Structure 1
Amino acid sequence: MRHCLGFLYAPLVITGVHQTTLAIDLQMIQSMGGTPVWPLIALSNIAQGSAVIGIIISSRKHNEREISVPAAISAWLGVTEPAMYGINLKYRFPMLCAMIGSGLAGLLCGLNGVMANGIGVGGLPGILSIQPSYWQVFALAMVIAIIIPIVLTSFIYQRKYRLGTLDIV
């Protein structure tokens, strides 16, 4: 079930409902001594930034790179809105690629019971919130959340560019 949140967290951000996860996290920390939700949030941030990196690698548009680089850095540090609204939703497919990467990384965390001690900064610094016994698994999940969206986004962008079907919403 946790991998579903990894996949679906980004749409929660778009609607603003993601703020409710903070209350869930705090309740779990109180009752369970940690939260399995916060790691998925950090991974979703990483995946959104990674999808933007896929656009940076593939795009030949100079003005798009000017928007993409700060958006990717911001997402990797925990703030995904510039990446989502500035790039990923504009093309649509990077959003889905990020959700797939986040879902797969979340699946790995869910299967291994990864827990965070508390809530904090998302994105790459999010590993600091993870309980030390889960750092290796979470680091592998971070690699998944980085590589899968970059590869998928780059592949789809280049394919759509070649076919002339690269639509901007």
Structure 2
Amino acid sequence: MGKFEQDAKTLLTAIGGKENVSAVTHCATRMRFVLVDDKKADTKTIENIPSVKGTFTNAGQFQVIIGNDVPLFYNDFTAVSGIEGVSKEAAKSAAKSNQNFIQ
């Protein structure tokens, strides 16, 4: 495992576990999650993870800011969670169900 293994395990628990993740991907600096239930995400715990810089929700995606090491973090996260990542387009499509009418 990589250097983010423990942080990835903590994140997995804090977002509500594997069963709460509908889709996961990443961009240049952020992990992008489509969660089954956003209310299960413990943002206080997530923001206290050493490698996490912050969180926010946008366009139906719960985003966790990691920074330039996000590809390494993502690899550790998918390894410890057993969740297979999806493309950005697939995540956007899955996130549409979390958006309100105006979005």
- Scaled to the shorter chain, the TM-score interval is 0.3 to 0.5
Structure number with larger C-alpha Rg: 1
Richer in strand (by share): 2
- Calculate the TM-score normalised by the size of structure 1: 0.23
